[in-house]
């Protein structure tokens, strides 16, 4: 079998792939910085003629799968296959293997780092110095006084792997952790299960860590946002579709809450409609980089290779294949 690798891969795992398959074509998108959309994807699949596609950003759609029927499996280096038409893959009998947990630590560290950055006013204070405003007679110690994270109430919406990793870091600050997650039956150790309304109204920081589903799309509404404490901080490093961003912009402009940290937008790069939110002075926007570390490449390579081994051996497919309906064919 031939594998076509379009995702960045660690060298040791790439060598392992070469032992697993007869031929490996390694053309990561990072070499050019460009993902393939469906026309480019189809063109290159026809050129390479692979049995196995390992991707991260490339679009695989009905058009791609109808135009090239040689794929036996797709390895997608993402927690969920947002770049793939899952229903089309299932119709064409192509199982999808994902890499859940690949960026858990990266996101957790970044979220806590950004919270500290905002609470201690690091960015505006640094810009104040760069602008030449630190002059005799000024008192930056008082001008840029912030808040400590120690002992704050932090509420999570969704309490999976990333939330647990964030909570573990926050334990070092003696934060009081609560969470809303309908899939968990009760408290998780010293982490307290709460209603969604209580998470928003009682927390000093609310942070989202959950996927987009029919039940979570648009679940963070204006009433929830307006129920937050005046000094509260809202964090979204999950998915934009979970939040009513128009409502968030109104809440921020009305100074109902202290601020927001946003790593995900409805449209990336941002378009004109996103600018109102971006121009709010109490917003820290990062360009969807919370999960961007060099170590993530190592993590995703190892996770996917382990899953490819299971797929080749036909082992534990119910827990390995994302689109499990394909196994019924």
First to last CA, the chain: 22
Residue 43, φ and ψ in degrees, nearest 5: -60, -45
| 3-class state of residue 288 by DSSP | coil
- The answer to whether 265 touches 283, Cβ cutoff 8 Å, is no
Per the annotation, the verdict on 18 as an active-site residue is: no
- Catalytic: which of 239, 249, 299, 307? 239
Listed residue (63, 116, 65) closest to 89, CA to CA:
65
* Spatial distance between the Cα atoms of 45 and 56, rounded to a whole number of angstroms: 15
- Catalytic: which of 34, 197, 268, 271? 268
* Spatial distance between the Cα atoms of 26 and 44, rounded to a whole number of angstroms: 12
Strand partners, 179: 156, 193
- Render 173-210 in DSSP notation, one character per residue: TT-EEEEE-TTS-S-BTTBEE--HHHHHHH-SEEEE--
**Residue environment code for 186-217, b if the CB has 16+ CB neighbours within 10 A, otherwise e:** eebeebebbebeebbbbbbbbbbbbebeeebe
- Catalytic: which of 192, 250, 288, 302? 288
Per the annotation, the verdict on 315 as an active-site residue is: no
Per the annotation, the verdict on 46 as an active-site residue is: no
Residue whose entry in the numeric block shows the structure tokens 């110095």: 129
Q: Which residues have CB under 8 Å from 68's CB, separation 6+?
A: 42, 45, 46
139, burial (CB in 10 Å: exposed 0-12, middle 13-18, buried 19+): exposed
Q: Which residues are catalytic?
A: 239, 268, 288
């Amino acid at each position: 079998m031939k594998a076509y690798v379009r995702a960045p891969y660690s060298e040791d795992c790439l060598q392992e792939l070469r032992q697993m398959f007869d031929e490996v074509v390694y053309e990561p998108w990072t070499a050019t910085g460009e993902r393939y959309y469906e026309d480019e994807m189809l063109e290159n699949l026809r050129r390479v003629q692979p049995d196995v596609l390992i991707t991260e950003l490339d679009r695989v759609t009905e058009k791609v799968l109808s135009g090239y029927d040689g794929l036996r499996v797709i390895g997608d280096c993402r927690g969920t296959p947002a770049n793939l038409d899952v229903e089309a893959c299932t119709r064409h009998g192509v199982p999808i293997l994902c890499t859940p947990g690949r960026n858990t630590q990266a996101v957790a560290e970044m979220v806590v780092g950004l919270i500290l950055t905002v609470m201690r006013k690091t960015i505006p204070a640094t810009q104040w110095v760069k602008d030449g405003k630190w002059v005799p007679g000024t008192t930056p110690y008082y001008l840029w006084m912030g808040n400590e994270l120690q002992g704050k109430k932090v509420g999570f919406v969704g309490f999976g792997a990333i939330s647990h990793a964030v909570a573990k870091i926050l334990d070092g600050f003696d934060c009081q952790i609560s969470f809303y997650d309908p899939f968990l039956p009760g408290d998780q150790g010293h982490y307290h299960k709460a209603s969604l309304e209580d998470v928003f109204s009682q927390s000093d920081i609310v942070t989202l860590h959950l996927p987009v589903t029919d039940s979570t799309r648009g679940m963070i509404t204006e009433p929830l946002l307006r129920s937050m404490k005046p000094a509260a901080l809202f964090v979204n490093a999950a998915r934009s579709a979970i939040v009513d961003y128009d409502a968030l912009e109104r809440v921020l402009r009305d100074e109902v809450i202290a601020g927001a940290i946003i790593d995900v937008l409805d449209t990336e790069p941002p378009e004109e409609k996103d600018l109102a939110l971006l121009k709010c002075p109490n917003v820290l926007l990062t360009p969807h980089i919370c999960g961007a570390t060099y170590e993530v490449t190592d993590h995703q390579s190892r996770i996917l290779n382990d899953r490819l081994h299971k797929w080749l051996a036909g082992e534990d497919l119910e827990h390995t294949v994302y689109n499990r309906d394909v196994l019924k064919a």
